[in-house]
Structures are given as C-alpha cells and as structure tokens.
C-alpha cells in the first residue's frame, strides 16, 4: 500500500498545476507529492524532483516511472536549486514544493538513526555521503556546545542536564542508548512525546544544517518562480515554520523600515503575496489516520 504524504490534497490544490507548467519538488522523497503534481498537470506538465537520499530516489523513480520524461529526478540539494534549473535550461518554474518532514522510509529504517524505537547507529544523515554524523556531535562536542545545540535546535529546557549526562556517559553508539539515557535523566512524564524527542530533533537539524539551508533556499525559490508561480513549504516544528513565516511576511511588504522611521528609506518592494496569513493544518481525519502529520503546517506564497 502506497503511503500518502502529509497534506497531500491541500498541497496539490495550493500549487494549482497546469498542463503546460514546470514544477520542482525540492524534497521528493518517495514521490508522493510529485505523483499528484504530475497527475494534475497532465498531459505535458513536468516535475524536477531533488533529494539527497539515494534510497528515496530509487523509490521515487519506480513510483513515477509511468510519467516517462515528464519527471526528472536528481540526487542533489534544494539549496542548489538555481544550478539545477540552469543545467536543465529552465529559466523559471510555475511551482516549488519543499516538504521538510522526515519520510516514513527514513524513520522506518533503524540503520539510518532517525528514530529510537529500535536500536540503530547515531547517524541521522539525509545524505549518506556526508561525513558528519550525530555520533560525532554526541561524542566530541564540549558540554557547553552540546547544551547550546540541544537548547537552540530542540527548544529543550533540560538541555544542560542532558548534555552533562551525555558527556559523563560517553561514548554513546546507538539511538536507544541515547534515548534511554535522556529518559533516565529527565523522566518520562513528557506528555505525548518521548523525553528524547527534542534532543533527537536538535541533533538531526545540526547534522544536516537544516535551518541554514532553509534560509538559503527561500530567496532562491522566489527568484526561480515565474510571475504567478507558487511556493509551498510544509514545516513540522516551530523553528522551521518561524523562518518561513517571517520570510513570507517580509517579502510581501513594500516597506520593511522600522515603524518608528519617519519616512521609508529601504527601497524594498514586495515580491510575493501570502495565500493565507495562517498556516494550513491537517484535517482531524488525517491526524487520526497519520499521527505523524499532527504538527505539519503548510504555508503558501505567490510571486507577484
């Protein structure tokens, strides 16, 4: 049974695919959203799918095989969007999607180290060719560096206690070792989430430089859109969503001067309009069927 990606219908509706359009899925994963875009843009719409994960690309290639040369899959980062478009001689595109969530493919493979439900190495790399792993951070950062990382990227209030415990028990080699250690330090009464969830989030963000990559991507994406083209971003935690929200708000205004400035001196011009000031959230039905979707937020902007 094929997995349906988060906010599937909402995302396809937001991008408004047409039969002559060109689109980019910057995190193509198993190809779920790309499949919907290709279906809605039949018979001539094209999709460029990017992903750093070679296993995901293999799955996407099989899933999207029926669309032939209407789909182009490339192993690469969305941060190099403009370079990929230049290579294809696509001057601009009509829609861009970025789904920042982990795929089921990644979560369900213990050897990738993203989940602590089963023992696996402390890896967490989107790109297996990358050298830096979560184990490198856990076992080599100073207590201060580790605490700051867990606090900043995981928004974990017990970051200092967790960092001190990690340093005192190094080396740590598996996901379950780390998760059990964190649970023993701060207890298991954390509501719906496991006590190690925020720390794992922080390590994954740091290993893959996710927040900085998002900041690089957003202006490049707007630059790469045709007039009337749309950018859709699905975020799964507040740090990502805040970056997208602030970028959309800033770029939808003609003036970004301080409210206290007597006259405008910024020469800034709005590049986009926000399709909705509030993020689009999964329906109650989707949250029940797929608990992983509960924190998803979709924001959409249209290039002026």
Interval 215-237: pLDDT, tens: 999 999 999 999 999 999 999 99
Secondary structure element (H or E) that encloses residue 39, with its range: helix 32-40
CB neighbour list of residue 92: distance below 8 Å, 6 or more residues apart? 85, 224, 225, 226, 229
pLDDT at 13: 97
Count of helix runs (H) and strand runs (E) in the chain: 13, 7
pLDDT for 271 beyond 80: yes
What is the C-alpha separation between 161 and 95, in angstroms, rounded? 45
Q: Average pLDDT of 289-298?
A: 92
Among 18, 28, 30, which residue's Cα sits nearest to residue 93?
Answer: 18
CB neighbour list of residue 192: distance below 8 Å, 6 or more residues apart? none
- What is the per-residue pLDDT across 275-284, written as a single tens digit (0 to 9) for each? 988 999 999 9
Query: How many angstroms separate the Cα of 265 from the Cα of each of 255, 269, 294?
Result: 8, 12, 42
Among 281, 304, 301, 303, which residue's Cα sits nearest to residue 293?
Answer: 281
Instruction: Judge contact between 154 and 210, C-beta under 8 A.
Output: no
pLDDT for 131 beyond 60: yes
282: its two tokens: 């999964």
For the chain, list the domains and their CATH numbers: 8-99+210-303 (3.40.50.150), 113-208 (1.10.150.170)
Q: Which residues pair with 22 in a beta bridge?
A: 46
pLDDT at 260: 80
Rounded percentage of the chain residues whose pLDDT exceeds 70: 98
pLDDT for 269 beyond 70: yes
Q: Average pLDDT of 76-88?
A: 97
């Amino acid at each position: 049974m094929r997995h349906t990606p988060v906010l599937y219908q909402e995302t396809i509706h937001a991008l408004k695919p047409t039969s002559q359009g060109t689109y980019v899925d910057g995190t193509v994963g198993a190809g779920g959203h790309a499949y919907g875009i290709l279906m809605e843009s039949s018979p001539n719409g094209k999709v460029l799918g990017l992903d750093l994960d070679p296993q995901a690309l293999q799955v996407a290639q099989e899933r999207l095989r029926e669309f032939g040369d209407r789909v182009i899959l490339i192993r690469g980062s969305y941060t190099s969007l403009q370079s990929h478009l230049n290579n294809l001689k696509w001057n601009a595109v009509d829609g861009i999607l970025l789904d920042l969530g982990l795929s089921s493919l990644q979560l369900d493979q213990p050897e990738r180290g993203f989940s602590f439900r089963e023992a696996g190495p402390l890896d967490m790399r989107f790109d297996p060719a990358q050298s830096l792993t979560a184990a490198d951070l856990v076992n080599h950062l100073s207590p201060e560096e580790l605490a700051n990382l867990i606090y900043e990227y995981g928004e974990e209030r017990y970051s200092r206690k967790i960092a001190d415990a990690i340093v005192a028990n190094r080396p740590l080699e598996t996901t379950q070792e780390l998760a059990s250690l964190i649970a023993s330090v701060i207890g298991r009464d954390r509501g719906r989430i496991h006590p190690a969830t925020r720390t794992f989030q922080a390590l994954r963000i740091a290993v893959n430089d996710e927040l900085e990559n998002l900041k690089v991507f957003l202006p490049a994406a707007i630059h790469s859109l045709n007039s009337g083209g749309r950018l859709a971003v699905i975020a799964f935690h507040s740090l990502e969503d805040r970056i997208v929200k602030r970028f959309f708000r800033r770029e939808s205004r003609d003036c970004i001067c301080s409210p206290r400035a007597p006259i405008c001196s910024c020469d800034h011009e709005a590049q986009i309009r926000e399709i909705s000031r509030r993020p689009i959230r999964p329906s109650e039905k989707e949250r029940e069927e797929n608990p992983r979707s509960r924190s998803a937020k979709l924001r959409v902007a249209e290039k002026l």
